Structure 1
């Protein structure tokens, strides 16, 4: 009997260790989002991204608007912008894509950004810093013009298209806009997001 008790004491800590190594039961684990998701029918998804270089204090933004099939409706970006932080660039990207959606006549929009801080500020879940207060005011004013606006944080891997547009605008400089037909350097990313095998 004593031998069985000792054997139990040895086995149980090992089993407990194996169970404790799991952060949660396997059936409750939710895989991290790794693919861009289409919006539901009747909505457009507006991905946006800001870029900022601390050494030069310059940056810009890019955005891509797609329908429920994943088809690009519009894309655009702006380089040669002066910002005080990455957050300012990210907030400016959200403002820019909302303005683009307004001008495009889209009334039901999902705005997706890979800046969790910016999304939380827009949703009122985080205190707003003074440097982006005026940008947030513009965003809140723009929101009232839509029938429905949803703000979502997405990891960078799900925001590649907007990031590529922002990077291009910052590298080349100037303002850019495309409607329905993307530039060649963006096509493969857009196709990959919707699992289309065609490549340029």
Structure 2
């Protein structure tokens, strides 16, 4: 399945076997199919059961092999395929040839998935064609819209970069692209080191190819729907998410899922709160009850349904009080709890703020000792950035440069962005478009005697947060040594109590 493309007819037969098993069909007996198989293969948050569509899963597995060819050009398999099927192009531009092997034909069937899912991470720009490759992460098509003349076809991104200063040639870019494209290009952060271009997978937060994310792209591709719109699914997504997150037995979740689907097209009878269907009723309850009460309500509904079936088939009617007690007993089995910890030496807290009205950003940081005394602080104004994660990473890079210049060599680095902290702390190479910024941060951290990166709550990061926001009011970088910035003095004591 990961090497050969399965015939569609075989996939349909296997899907049919799974559907019959799910609905409890034995032999030739007839069972009610409450929903079509296409609906069951939707993700749970879209109202499905998350079953695998074998055709899409097969393409995702094949795409994994194609991704290996993209990233390991030294392998014997890659060299054989290149010599035979794409000697003058890349894997992404390859096509099926008349006498190709079944293995290559299978891999070519998965190439649309790779074309939809890949994007270039910019390094020196020597390997990326401006108009042909996907290289602009925060742009609808990931490449310029405009077509070009034949004599401009081989334009490389390196031409748009000042290689000595590692900055964009903004005037040149704005003169050759429309305003939206030019701004999108100039907003891509460049590494301050000489790094090569590389490809990352844009449908995963870590930039790493996974069969799970490729499956979603394949499913959207098979439906001929744009991937960015494929998560809309059916209505009531809030209800679906709530049902699957409840701490109740799985069979009761399935009961709730089936009732929401079945009753979403039927009006409720004798509903005194004015809800038209089961979806509206659940939304009404979610707004007015806490999670435990909703769980208890759904367990009670399931027990009432079972009691009804028991009576219909000749069983005895139980007292309502017994049903309530039984519902409470079931819930007690699913109660869980968690506990956290942290603390240490010089602590560097940083934060970033994005100012959309002034098309800029701000970075703030404060360094304190173990008693909470401020040793250094900074406020820096930055360029406009795309997204909070990028802003946090750029802020971290800037504050580490500041800390090294200020001769701090033993640091606990704290920010309030979960994603940024996780990317920095991971030992593996980050494959995202901003992965080179993560690499810069790790490079800077490696220059310190000892460092640790962790995430803190927003309430424990107020000084850095206020310093980042203060950058909107200044036009120069501000630095303080062994002094509390007046703009954040009221939050220093609050933060110190949380260190």
Q: Could you state the TM-score of these two structures normalised by the residue count of structure 2?
A: 0.33
What pairs with 1:127-146 in structure 2 (closer than 5 Å)? 127-130=430-433, 132-146=434-448
Q: CA deviation at 1:10?
A: 4.9
Q: Distance in 2 between matches of 1:10 and 1:187?
A: 55
The secondary structure found in structure 2 opposite 1:50 is strand
Partner SS state of residue 386, structure 2: coil
SS in 1 for 2:393: helix
Q: Deviation at 1:9?
A: 5.6
Write the distance in 2 (CA, Å) between the matches of 1:143 and 1:102: 9
Q: Hey, what's the Cα distance between the residues in 2 that align with 1:161 and 1:178?
A: 13
> What's the counterpart of residue 330 of structure 2?
16
Instruction: Find 2:469's aligned residue among 155, 161, 167.
Output: 167
**After superposition, where does 1:45-124 map in structure 2 within 5 Å?**
45-124=347-426
Residue matched to 1:150: 452
CA pair 179-11 structure 1, distance change in 2 beyond 3 A: same
Q: Secondary structure of the equivalent of 1:84? A: coil
In the other structure, the counterpart of 2:493 is 191
Aligned to 1:177: 479
Q: Deviations over 1:18-48 (max 9, x none)?
A: x2674x1xxx4337x8xxx7x42xx211000
Distance 1:56 1:151 in 2: 31
How far residue 183 of structure 1 moved from its aligned partner, in angstroms, is: 2.2
* Root mean square deviation, CA, Å: 2.7
Structure 2: stretches of 5+ with no match in the other structure: 1-317
Contact 1:78–1:170 (Cα < 8 Å) also in 2: no
Q: Distance in 2 between matches of 1:174 and 1:167?
A: 14
Cα offsets for 1:99-146 (capped at 9, x unmatched) = 12212222221110111111111122784421x233223212111111
State the match for 1:198 in structure 2. none
Give the C-alpha shift of residue 12 in structure 1.
Answer: 2.8
Distance 1:128 1:122 in 2: 12
Secondary structure at 1:168's aligned position in 2?
helix
**Equivalent-residue separation in structure 2 for 1:56 and 1:183 (angstroms):** 24
Deviation string for 1:69-128 (max 9, x for gaps)?
111100002114232332222111111221122122222211101111111111227844
Q: Distance in 1 between matches of 2:386 and 2:325?
A: 58
Q: Is the 8 A contact 1:46 1:109 kept in 2?
A: yes
- Using a 3 Å threshold, how does the CA distance of structure 1 residues 14 and 87 change in structure 2: closer, same or farther? closer
Kept in 1: contact 2:363–2:382 (CA 8 A): no
Q: Name the stretch that deviates more: 117-126 or 98-107.
A: 117-126
1:30 correspondence with 2:344: no
Label 1:29 to 1:74 Cα distance change in 2 as closer, same or farther (>3 A).
Answer: same
SS in 2 for 1:83: coil
Contact 1:121 1:128 in 2 (8 A): no
Q: Which has the higher contact order (CA 8 A, sep 6+)?
A: 1
State how far apart, in whole Å, the 2-side matches of 1:115 and 1:128 are: 18
CA contact (8 A) 1:57 1:84 kept: no
Match of 2:178 in 1: none
